[in-house]
Copies of this chain bind each other. A is one copy, B any other.
Amino acid sequence: MTGRTPTLAVRADLNISLDGSASTTDQTAENPMGEDWFRLVAANAATRTFRERVLGDTSGKGTTGVDDAYAQEYFTNIGAEIMGAGMFGLHHNADDPDWRGWWGDEPPFRVPVFVLTHAPRPSIEMAGGTTFHFLDASPEEALAEATRAAGGADVRIGGGVRTVRSFLAAGLVDRLHVAIAPILLGRGLSLWEDLRGLERRYEVSSEIAESGTVHVTFRR
């Protein structure tokens, strides 16, 4: 089509269990993340890229196989991110006007991040290139905003699972990558709920990592 802007990809990546769970339920006061969460992300968190980019570990330690290739890809060519309020920690900190998220002083995103919330607050500029903006918007509106901010790069739908599902249901995701840990959580929020027939709109391919993680990618 003449004059059409090249389509940039809207991407989503999630760690899920073999039974589809993308959230965990075993949090306790002693173990606020829960053990399940660690098992769900263990293979990803063990990669060299994750250790460097998220944990700030520049020692070069970490796995360098298939899982790491996906971790590298995860951080490549992203110009903006959209996340749900829960992923920013707003559900537990709604009353704290100074809440700056739980991603540290220098969050790993390094791009504009649009947090979806029914109670927007002023933007927060963090070190390292991340600025959090707060939007009360539909998936379509948020995506239009994030696309403008992305400056020609891709937009990530960061999570949580409800947010990713809403963008999938609205037909807005071009590439969905799930890293399936071969464990059964038996509870939590399933990524797959209400997505019957999703594969008909995509090419689906899979790959097994050395860790046993099954990487499944939906592309259109």
> Chain A interface (Cβ within 8 Å of chain B)?
18-20, 182-187, 190, 192-199, 204-208, 212, 214, 216
Contact = CB atoms under 8 A, between A and B. Distances in A.
Contacts of A190: 19
A79 to B, nearest CB: 29
B204 A196 contact: no
A112 B140 CA distance: 59
Contacts of A182: 199, 204, 206, 216
Given A18-B20, A206-B214, A214-B214, 4 more contacts: A18-B192, A182-B204, A184-B199, A206-B212
B205 A212 contact: yes
A199 to B, nearest CB: 5
A59 B113 CA distance: 59
A182 B198 CA distance: 10
Nearest to A218: B182
A130 to B, nearest CB: 33
